Amino acid sequence: MQNRSPSAHTNGAQRPSPGKRADRRLVVMSNRAPIRIVREDGHERIEPTVGGVGTTFLRLLERHGGLWIAWSGGQKTPPRLPFPP
């Protein structure tokens, strides 16, 4: 097994300097979204969940931008939801 330094990509290229990272974005993929769908009186609303790793990633996404791909837990939700609402 080859020993890789933290500054090397798998293809051996050096990581770009922090100034060149503008073209990158954080993408989080998970089986659950950091939201829950609350159904009351025939209406649905979206609420953020509290705690756990989701809260940490949500803060990173709010600060730096990015994309969270996940299942909301519901059966019929729009394919895209702006978050935080």
Give a yes or no: residue 1 inside a domain.
Answer: no
Residue 10 lies inside a defined structural domain of this protein: no
pLDDT at 9: 40
| pLDDT over 50 at 16, yes or no | yes
Count of structural domains within the chain: 1
In a domain, 53, yes or no: yes
Q: Is the pTM of this model over 0.75?
A: no
The answer to the question of residue 34 being in a domain is yes
Tell me: the pLDDT tens digits for 67-77? Answer: 888 876 666 65
Domain that holds residue 29: 24-69
From its phi and psi, is residue 75 left (phi > 0), alpha (psi between -120 and 50) or beta? alpha
23 phi and psi angles, rounded to 5 deg: -85, 5
